[in-house]
């Protein structure tokens, strides 16, 4: 949201277009739609008179309402249908009849291998699949046992279908009839509860409509920016003009003279202007006079950062992997390359800018916001306020995009809202404008990469030596730094390179960690988005050096990996690799394994007067079991569009210690007219469950750049493409 989008003087949050849409939705949907939407609203649904609650994940009411409680955040990726489907399969209830409720903070929703409730890393399905199936199967078994007792029929003779229990003699009743009796039964041990065979699935693996589509279309879905509480104030923060700068002094007299401004106060992130509505807060901030103290990053620029990185590329770094002897193999090789690849800072560019509502009173703090990290937010907000974490309540709303930004390891926007609200005894919504968000840091790191690689007599790679220079993302987070080993290696820095699927006998990976004041953070697909571009581009360079077809070259390097080959072959055949294309059109191909999923993409590209047009992208994915195929297709499309925006034009540059870009005019995203046709093919597999939110992004940049090379002979080694072709 930019200042121009706030509605002008006197505008109130939640007014205008959204309320109009809600009204239209209610008129069109009637009372039934309102009943359907109620579980999605912050605070949950009203309890049925009698309920069966075998687990924190599910409630079954005497009125037959089945509510699935989801501890993952919904930011467009579809977990509010994908996860309920899993439970519904074993419970034997049509997923389209489910209600969904957003969970509060509860250890029951913690990550299986980390004591925290969060959403990220494409792990929602992977980490809850088994648990949700068991909860559904357990609840069904208890309902059936209650029915068997009441009817005097062995439980083994009863069957269920879509929330109804059937007896051999023709009797039947809905689950709601048995909730009271089922509640009195002991919960069976999970080992004793049988799960369905995959061949017997009714819902998993079949397309399902999203349960949140209606309320997102009619405007009833509540995002953080929509929260409007009685007596609520709105604040914006005057932030340092340079990374690392601090407040020296400020004069609030003119800001306080703006009609609607209530207070001005200094907080750790800057100076907050608090008002009755957004417009007054923004106008007050414009009138505020702040003197800033330069920090250590005041002289930083993209050029100085590039020079620092280039110098480090010539030095030995931290060893991330050493397989065989790449240095010796390179020394003996006759055909080799020594190339440099550059990737810029990238903003997350969420459609909904950052925001959070905080209400601090009586040694407690209640918050409403779209967040990916509820447990961490509660801990860090509590630490900032000096209260116990149990005294912080997080109400999770829908997220208008996350991509990692709403999983900041410092909980920056949540902690900031708590600081602003402290002492006011009123709820305060802290809003970041689009410019605040784009220039606020926490970018994908700016990285330079040097790759030395060689091929043997058969043209296949014999050595690959990758040296990466960038700022590690885990070290710059409050909790992530605990995950970095003593040797200083951030495990995400070389993912997708050191563990590439391509068979190369001699492989060495090194890392240099930089420490500039520009904050860095994970960005959709984390290290894979950068390393996937480097690895897949270099593989293409080696194929070209060997005079071989890039697709068949990859096939040779994936020998013995049937899942990878199946994905690569599907993408190539579906795209018509090797067949004639329209005049001026060329293909490029890439494959990346990330988050347990294997994705290959073929881009069909033309280049006219240095203008790149991507006409079609053909994508194939093996994610193990596709719980909801529609969701998989949507996420591949999303990842491709997101990655293509970054590849073509995405770049944050630094001058005088500050980001140059500020809004979509200077940090453009793909327009509808620029978006290619996208074909997605799901490859059946019995492999482990994989993610789908992130794996669609890494292959698109190298696929497009490899196609550009096929079209022009020019190798793109610096992103964005617009900078290399300028």
In 3D, which of 505, 143, 529, 564 has the Cα closest to residue 328? Answer: 505
Q: Is residue 624 part of a domain?
A: yes
Q: Please give the pLDDT value at position 477.
A: 59
Q: Please give the pLDDT value at position 227.
A: 98
> Of the candidates 371, 400, 431, which is a domain's last residue?
431
- Cα 62 to Cα 64: distance, rounded to the nearest angstrom: 5
CA 368 to chain centre: 20
Length of the chain, in residues: 726
Same domain? For 425 and 448 the reply is no
How confident is the model over 246-281, as pLDDT tens digits? 999 999 999 999 999 999 999 999 999 999 999 999
In 3D, which of 625, 622, 646 has the Cα closest to residue 695? Answer: 622
Q: Please give the pLDDT value at position 475.
A: 72
Residue 166 token pair: 């059937």
Query: Please, which residues have CB within 8 angstroms of residue 152's CB and are 6 or more apart in sequence?
Result: none
On whether the CB atoms of residues 292 and 246 are closer than 8 A, the answer is yes
Q: Compute φ and ψ for 211, nearest 5 degrees.
A: -80, -15
Q: Please give the pLDDT value at position 25.
A: 33
> Of the candidates 218, 246, 275, which is a domain's last residue?
218
Same domain? For 451 and 569 the reply is yes
On whether the CB atoms of residues 328 and 478 are closer than 8 A, the answer is no
Write the DSSP assignment of 469-505 as a string of letters.
EE--SGGGSTTGGGGS-TT---TTTTTTTTT-SS--S
Q: Is residue 13 part of a domain?
A: no
Q: Compute φ and ψ for 658, nearest 5 degrees.
A: -135, 155
Same domain? For 317 and 290 the reply is no
Higher pLDDT, 38 or 184: 184
Q: What does the angle CA 652 – CA 725 – CA 635 come to, to the nearest 5 degrees?
A: 60
pLDDT greater than 50 at residue 21: no
The per-residue pLDDT of the chain, averaged, comes to: 92
Same domain? For 517 and 666 the reply is yes
Same domain? For 648 and 527 the reply is yes
Same domain? For 451 and 403 the reply is no
On whether the CB atoms of residues 674 and 691 are closer than 8 A, the answer is no
Measured CA distances, 323 to 32, 467, 502, 557 (Å): 62, 14, 13, 16
How confident is the model over 431-477, as pLDDT tens digits? 999 999 999 999 999 999 999 999 999 999 999 999 999 999 987 55
Residue 289 token pair: 């006079």
Query: Please, which residues have CB within 8 angstroms of residue 484's CB and are 6 or more apart in sequence?
Result: 472, 474, 475, 490, 491
How confident is the model over 123-137, as pLDDT tens digits? 999 999 999 999 999
Q: Please give the pLDDT value at position 514.
A: 96
pLDDT greater than 70 at residue 122: yes
**Residue percentage of the chain with pLDDT more than 90:** 89
> Of the candidates 189, 218, 247, which is a domain's last residue?
218
pLDDT class for 491, splitting at 50, 70, 90? confident
Across the strands, what pairs with 274? 235, 263
Q: Is residue 97 part of a domain?
A: yes
On whether the CB atoms of residues 661 and 347 are closer than 8 A, the answer is yes
On whether the CB atoms of residues 691 and 623 are closer than 8 A, the answer is yes
Mean pLDDT, residues 343-355 taken together: 98
In 3D, which of 46, 121, 63, 54 has the Cα closest to residue 90? Answer: 54
pLDDT greater than 90 at residue 14: no
In 3D, which of 402, 407, 382 has the Cα closest to residue 392? Answer: 382
CA dihedral 77, 82, 84, 89 (to 10 degrees): 180
Total number of domains in the chain: 3
Query: Please, which residues have CB within 8 angstroms of residue 707's CB and are 6 or more apart in sequence?
Result: 586, 587, 588, 603, 604, 605
Q: Other C-beta atoms within 10 Å of 319: how many?
A: 13
10 Å CB burial of residue 675 (0-12, 13-18, 19+) is: middle
Same domain? For 337 and 366 the reply is no
Same domain? For 567 and 519 the reply is yes
Query: Please, which residues have CB within 8 angstroms of residue 252's CB and are 6 or more apart in sequence?
Result: 264, 271, 288
pLDDT class for 12, splitting at 50, 70, 90? very low
Q: Please give the pLDDT value at position 2.
A: 44
Q: Is residue 1 part of a domain?
A: no
How confident is the model over 102-115, as pLDDT tens digits? 999 999 999 988 88
pLDDT greater than 80 at residue 19: no
Same domain? For 564 and 668 the reply is yes
Domain coverage including residue 577? 302-346+443-725
Q: Is residue 7 part of a domain?
A: no
Same domain? For 509 and 618 the reply is yes
Q: Please give the pLDDT value at position 393.
A: 97
Q: What is the CA radius of gyration of the chain?
A: 27
- Cα 377 to Cα 415: distance, rounded to the nearest angstrom: 7
Same domain? For 380 and 453 the reply is no
Same domain? For 367 and 447 the reply is no
Helix (H, G, I), strand (E, B) or coil at 194: coil
- Cα 346 to Cα 49: distance, rounded to the nearest angstrom: 51
pLDDT greater than 50 at residue 144: yes
- Cα 496 to Cα 528: distance, rounded to the nearest angstrom: 5
Q: Is residue 11 part of a domain?
A: no
Which domain CATH number covers 362? 3.30.365.10
Q: Is residue 436 part of a domain?
A: no
Mean pLDDT, residues 527-531 taken together: 98
Q: Is residue 558 part of a domain?
A: yes
On whether the CB atoms of residues 202 and 89 are closer than 8 A, the answer is yes
Q: Please give the pLDDT value at position 13.
A: 38
| Among 30-39, 464-473, 682-691, the least confident range | 30-39
10 Å CB burial of residue 543 (0-12, 13-18, 19+) is: buried
Residue 323 token pair: 């397989």
pLDDT greater than 80 at residue 342: yes
């Amino acid at each position: 949201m930019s200042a121009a989008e706030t509605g002008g003087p006197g505008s109130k949050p939640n007014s205008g277009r959204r309320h109009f849409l809600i009204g239209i939705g209610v008129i069109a949907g009637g009372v039934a739609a309102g009943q359907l939407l109620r579980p999605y609203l912050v605070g949950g649904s009203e309890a049925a008179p009698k309920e069966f609650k075998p687990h924190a994940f599910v409630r079954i009411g005497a009125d037959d309402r089945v509510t699935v409680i989801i501890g993952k955040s919904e930011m467009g990726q579809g977990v509010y249908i994908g996860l309920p489907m899993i439970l519904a399969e074993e419970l034997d209830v049509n997923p389209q009849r489910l209600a969904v409720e957003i969970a509060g903070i509860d250890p029951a929703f913690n990550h299986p291998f980390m004591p925290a409730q969060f959403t990220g890393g494409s792990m929602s399905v992977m980490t809850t699949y088994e648990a949700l199936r068991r909860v559904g199967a357990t609840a069904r078994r208890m309902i059936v046992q209650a029915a068997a007792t009441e009817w005097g029929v062995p439980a083994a003779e009863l069957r269920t279908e879509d929330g109804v229990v059937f007896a051999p003699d023709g009797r039947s009743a809905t689950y709601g009839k048995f909730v009271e009796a089922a509640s009195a039964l002991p919960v069976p041990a999970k080992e004793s509860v049988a799960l369905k065979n995959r061949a017997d699935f009714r819902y998993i693996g079949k397309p399902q409509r999203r349960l949140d589509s209606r309320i997102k279309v009619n405007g009833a879905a509540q995002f953080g920016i929509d929260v409007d509480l009685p007596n609520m104030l709105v604040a914006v923060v005057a932030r340092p003009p340079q990374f690392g700068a601090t407040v020296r002094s400020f004069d609030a007299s003119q800001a306080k003279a703006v009609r609607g401004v209530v207070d001005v106060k200094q907080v750790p992130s800057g100076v907050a202007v608090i008002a009755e509505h957004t417009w007054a807060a923004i106008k007050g901030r414009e009138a505020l006079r702040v003197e800033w103290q330069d920090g250590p990053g005041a002289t930083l620029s993209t050029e100085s950062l590039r020079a620092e990185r280039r110098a480090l590329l010539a030095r030995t770094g931290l060893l991330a992997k050493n397989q065989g002897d790449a240095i010796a193999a390179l020394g003996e090789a006759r055909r080799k390359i020594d190339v440099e690849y550059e990737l810029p800072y990238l903003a997350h560019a969420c459609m909904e800018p950052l925001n959070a509502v905080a209400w601090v009173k009586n040694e407690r703090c209640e918050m409403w916001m779209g967040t990916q990290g509820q447990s961490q937010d509660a801990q860090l907000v509590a630490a900032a306020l000096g209260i116990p974490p149990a005294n912080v309540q997080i109400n999770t709303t829908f997220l208008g995009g996350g991509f990692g930004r709403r999983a900041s390891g410092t909980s920056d926007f949540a902690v900031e809202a708590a600081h602003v609200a402290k002492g006011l005894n009123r709820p305060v919504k802290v809003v970041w404008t689009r410019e605040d968000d784009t220039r606020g840091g926490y970018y994908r790191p700016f990285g330079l990469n040097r790759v030395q690689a060689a091929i043997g007599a058969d043209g296949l790679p014999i050595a690959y030596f990758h040296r990466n220079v960038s700022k590690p993302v885990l070290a710059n987070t409050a909790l992530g730094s605990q995950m970095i080993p003593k040797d200083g290696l951030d495990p995400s820095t070389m993912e997708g390179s050191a563990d590439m699927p391509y068979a190369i006998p001699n492989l060495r990976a090194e890392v240099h960690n930089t420490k500039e004041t520009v904050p860095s953070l994970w960005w959709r697909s984390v290290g894979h988005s950068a390393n996937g571009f480097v690895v897949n581009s270099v593989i293409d360079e080696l194929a070209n050096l060997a005079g071989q077809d890039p697709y068949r070259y990859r096939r040779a390097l994936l020998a013995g990996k049937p899942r990878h080959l199946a994905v690569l072959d599907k993408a190539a055949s579906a795209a018509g690799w090797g067949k004639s294309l329209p005049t001026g059109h060329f293909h490029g191909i890439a494959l990346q394994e990330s988050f347990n999923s294997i994705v290959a993409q073929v881009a069909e590209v033309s280049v006219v007067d240095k203008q790149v047009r991507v006409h079609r992208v053909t994508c194939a994915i093996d994610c193990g079991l596709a719980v909801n195929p529609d969701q998989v297709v949507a996420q591949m499309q999303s990842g491709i569009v997101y990655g293509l925006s970054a590849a073509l034009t995405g770049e944050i540059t630094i001058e005088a210690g500050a980001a140059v870009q500020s809004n979509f005019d200077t940090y453009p995203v793909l327009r509808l007219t620029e978006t290619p046709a996208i074909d997605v093919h799901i490859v059946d597999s019995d492999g482990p469950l994989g993610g789908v939110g992130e794996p669609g992004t890494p292959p698109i940049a190298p696929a497009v750049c490899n196609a550009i090379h096929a079209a022009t002979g020019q190798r793109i080694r610096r992103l964005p493409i617009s900078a290399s072709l300028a």
